[in-house]
C-alpha cells in the first residue's frame, strides 16, 4: 500500500520542507507512477471492472 502513497507523500514533503511549487507536471507524473504500480501489480483489470460495473435494478 505504501507504493501507492509514495509519490503523494514525496510531493507533500517537498512542498513542506523545500518550499517547492506544485506544478501540473508533478501531479501528472504522480498519476502516471501510481497507474504504473497498479499495472505491474496486476490490479488494473479488476480496478477497471469495478469502475465501469454499474448495478442495475
**Nearest-angstrom CA–CA distance, 46 and 16:** 35
pLDDT band with cut points at 50, 70 and 90 for residue 1: low
* Of 38, 40, 19, the residue nearest 30 (C-alpha): 38
Q: Residue 20 carries which DSSP code?
A: P
**Nearest-angstrom CA–CA distance, 54 and 57:** 10
Whether the predicted pLDDT of 56 surpasses 60: no
pLDDT band with cut points at 50, 70 and 90 for residue 54: low
Whole-structure pTM value: 0.56
pLDDT band with cut points at 50, 70 and 90 for residue 2: low
**Nearest-angstrom CA–CA distance, 43 and 57:** 27
Structural domain boundaries in the chain: 2-52
Whether the predicted pLDDT of 34 surpasses 70: yes
Amino acid at each position: 500500500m505504501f507504493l501507492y502513497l509514495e509519490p503523494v507523500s514525496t510531493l507533500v514533503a517537498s512542498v513542506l520542507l523545500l518550499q517547492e511549487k506544485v506544478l501540473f507536471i508533478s501531479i501528472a507524473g504522480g498519476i502516471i507512477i501510481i497507474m504504473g504500480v497498479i499495472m505491474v501489480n496486476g490490479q488494473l483489470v479488476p480496478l477497471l471492472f469495478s469502475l465501469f460495473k454499474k448495478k442495475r435494478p
